[in-house]
Amino acid sequence: GHKMQCGARTTQLCFSVTLATFAAIQSLLVEVAKANGEGKVAFHMPSAVLYTELVKLAVALTVWSIQASHGEGVASQLRALSWSSISYSVPAAMFVAQNNLVYIAMSLLDPPTFQLWACCKIVPAGVFAYVFLGQRRTKVQWAALLLLMLGMATTKIEVQASPPAALRKTMLGIGILLFNCTLSAGSGVANEYLIKFQDPSMPFMLKNAHIYVFASLVALPTASSPWHGGLDGFDSLAVLIVLVNAATGLSISFVLKYSDNLVKSFASSAAVLLATLASAASFGYRPSTAFLVGFAVVVCAFFFYFGEHNKVLAERSEEEAREPLLQSMEKGAKTCTTREPLLQNVDSQSPPPEEQSQPSHAHSARLV
């Protein structure tokens, strides 16, 4: 049991580190593309999103077909599909809504305000995981989630903020962004539920293929066809960005399978910090004081959330939850022991069964 637990934790750590690494590389590659394009990427971003989903779909179908050929077979697994496969379109539709709301919020808010409020999705993710998936966490872990949110928000604070917009416009943008954070948390939990619990007999990569099919269909209307500029500006760097984005998406699915949505949030936060540090070394970016403070807070959040003390706290919480049940059982046992002498006294005062069953002579004569 201990070896299995250590193996599971090693698997979770490996996929989390892989996700953080790919996400950090993804951010750095986009920065390089912006630098080469004088502040903006030279390729069509919606088309890149579609190509990313198609790459993930191709990888998922290839791995699944190889696994199925050594097992039940591709045809038999396809025949086992049912109408429940449509449920995989739910997170895809939520992802589309998120993308549109992000563009609206970005048009209403300045970059520092947008980045500051975008960190609020961490706490709703924890709440949804508790309500819909039954995932319980210690009080220290809940505090760690708050610390992570505050730490990430602190790293985004800039001293030279852009001029503030009108109050009404800013409040509308913040409201849209908060709703989008809730939607993001919901889509992450829905995706985790589908991967872990929906159709238990369906292979993992076939589940991923379902999600990527619907995501490709959703991304199709916003992409440009190859003969209408969809491939313009797609040099080797753009192709590398698409491949790294696909690897990041596949890593997320593995993290959701072997860990959960909150571990994904921690890995994504680590990727942001790693990318910033790498930018400081590669592009001459100087981290601000706010970034260093936020970095320290995020490190504390990692320790509080993943520390061994949570195991002790969880065991103590289980013991506290069992105490009322044990007390009620002990009280019931004491009640039973007090009733036994009373029953014995009643039995000793009552006549023997033979005497109760035999009527008296007078009563017999009266009957005759």
Structure tokens at 119: 């960190």
Which pLDDT band, with edges at 50, 70 and 90, does 243 fall under? very high
Share of the chain above pLDDT 70, in %: 74
pLDDT score, position 363: 42
Q: Cβ of 8: how many Cβ atoms within 10 Å?
A: 12
Helix (H, G, I), strand (E, B) or coil at 285: coil
pLDDT score, position 349: 55
Which pLDDT band, with edges at 50, 70 and 90, does 255 fall under? very high
pLDDT score, position 335: 63
Tell me which residue has tokens 């919606």: 46
So where are the chain's domains?
7-73+83-320
Q: How far apart are CA 186 and CA 116, in angstroms?
A: 20
Over residues 65-91, the pLDDT tens digits come to: 998 887 766 766 776 666 677 888 888
> Considering Cα of 152, then 154, then 160, then 166, what sign does the dihedral take?
positive
Measured CA to CA in angstroms, residue 52 lies from 148, 187, 238, 285, 330 at distances of 29, 19, 11, 29, 61
Q: Average model confidence (pLDDT) for the chain? A: 78
CA-nearest of 362, 307, 340 to 144 is: 307
pLDDT score, position 85: 79
Structure tokens at 27: 């951010």
CA-nearest of 306, 19, 266 to 137 is: 306
Contact 273, 23 (CB under 8 A): no
> Considering Cα of 8, then 9, then 11, then 16, what sign does the dihedral take?
positive
Over residues 139-157, the pLDDT tens digits come to: 899 999 999 888 887 876 6
Measured CA to CA in angstroms, residue 189 lies from 8, 168, 186, 192, 340 at distances of 21, 32, 5, 5, 54
Of 39-48, 151-160, 180-189, the range with the lowest mean pLDDT is 151-160
- Top mean-pLDDT range of 51-60, 72-81, 175-184, 325-334: 51-60
CA-nearest of 194, 159, 150, 181 to 299 is: 150
CA-nearest of 24, 171, 185, 169 to 120 is: 185
Over residues 309-341, the pLDDT tens digits come to: 877 777 777 777 666 766 676 666 666 555 555
DSSP code of 199?
S
CA-nearest of 163, 140, 153, 87 to 309 is: 140
CA 358 to chain centre: 77
Tell me the pTM.
0.74
Contact 105, 177 (CB under 8 A): yes
Q: Which residue has the higher pLDDT, 269 or 128?
A: 128
What does the DSSP assignment read for 65-130? HHHHHTTT-HHHHHHT--GGGGGGHHHHHHHHHHHHHHHHHHHHS-HHHHHHHHGGGHHHHHHHHH
Q: Cβ of 348: how many Cβ atoms within 10 Å?
A: 7
